[in-house]
Amino acid sequence: MAKLVKTEYNLPYNPALKERAREMRKSMTTAEKRLWFEFLHKHPLRFFRQRPIDNYIVDFYCPEKKLVIEVDGDSHYTLDSVEYDKNRTDILERYGLNVLRFTNFDVLKNFPGVCARIEEILKGLTRPSDD
């Protein structure tokens, strides 16, 4: 496994994932594209898409609020994937990150509700420097 380095946000990062993250930004799912181009990209807080953290690539990350947003497709609902996602979330939370998950269906069929939920969560999170 590649050696982890620290990012400018003081999170571990596997440099071997950089190219894969770039590829994933070019081939986002329809739900990821909608959330990015219609909401997160324009948001006053800065969000990154397909951001390597530790040995994972998270869908969206807001460093100011330490919020990770994941958009899960059907492949996330097998027994193995549910366990993998749980372990992944546990690891990310150990870094002080908050993980928020939506399904592709949620994003595509209840977009205003998803955006409202993100705003609600963002308002409830303090900046790490405020702690």
Distance between CA 75 and CA 84 in Å, rounded? 11
pLDDT in tens, 21-38: 999 999 999 999 999 999
Provide the pLDDT for residue 130: 42
Distance of CA 93 to the CA centre of its chain: 12
pLDDT in tens, 104-126: 999 999 999 999 999 999 999 86
What are the distances in angstroms from CA 30 to CA 23, 66, 72? Answer: 15, 25, 11
Position with higher pLDDT, 18 vs 80: 18
| Domain map (residue ranges) of the chain | 5-130
- At residue 25, what is the residue type? R
Is residue 115 packed enough to be buried (19+ CB in 10 Å), middle (13-18) or exposed (0-12)? Answer: middle
Distance between CA 82 and CA 91 in Å, rounded? 14
Provide the pLDDT for residue 85: 85
Give the CATH number of domain 5-130. 3.40.960.10
